[in-house]
Copies of this chain bind each other. A is one copy, B any other.
Amino acid sequence: MVPMSVTATQRRTAASEAWVLIAELVASQRSRTMCVCSEFDLAPGQLHALKWLDPESPKPMRDLATALACDNSNVTGIIDRLEDRGLVQRRPGAHDRRVKMLVVTPKGQALRHEIKARMEEAPEPLLRLDAEEQRVLRDLLRKALDR
């Protein structure tokens, strides 16, 4: 590996500059996420878990751990709390009895729907772009993410 020291004067790729701005945009919206958490009385881990779970297709706990980039034992606690509130249920896997599938209850689906609607509202900086610019931005991100 080539040792690389990034100095103030060194050229940086446009992709890297874009990434830094994206990180800044997301960081500036952190308080909004925390507001949603406290509004629905969910810890951040619980919020992300509920948002990631798919009401139409139960997922094994293992996959949730991967999605949250955390350990299995961590998911146990998060799901314990969501289950205590009646938002999700554990069901034995059909083909592999070691696996527990995570099902979102109707109550959980309603809450998930509200959360997603709130989180998907565009932040103020993106609304400063005009309609055409917003579309170009969206299309570039779609292309990058292969959507």
Contact = CB atoms under 8 A, between A and B. Distances in A.
Interface of A: 4-6, 12-27, 30-31, 34, 48, 67-70, 113, 116-117, 119-123, 125-129, 131, 133-138, 140-147
A67 B34 CA distance: 13
Contact of A143 (B68, B70, B123, B129): B129
Contacts of A4: 117
A125 B128 CA distance: 25
A126 B144 contact: yes
Q: How many copies of the shown chain assemble into the complex?
A: 2
Given A14-B134, A17-B138, A26-B23, A144 B125 contact: yes
Contact of A128 (B123, B127, B143): B143
Contacts of A135: 14
B129 A144 contact: yes
B21 A145 contact: yes
Nearest to A122: B15
A18 B69 contact: no
A66 B31 CA distance: 9
Max count, chain B CB within 10 A of own CB: residue among A25, A123, A141:
A141
18 contacts: A6-B116, A6-B117, A6-B120, A13-B134, A15-B127, A15-B137, A18-B137, A18-B141, A19-B122, A20-B120, A21-B142, A21-B147, A22-B141, A34-B70, A125-B145, A128-B144, A129-B140, A129-B143
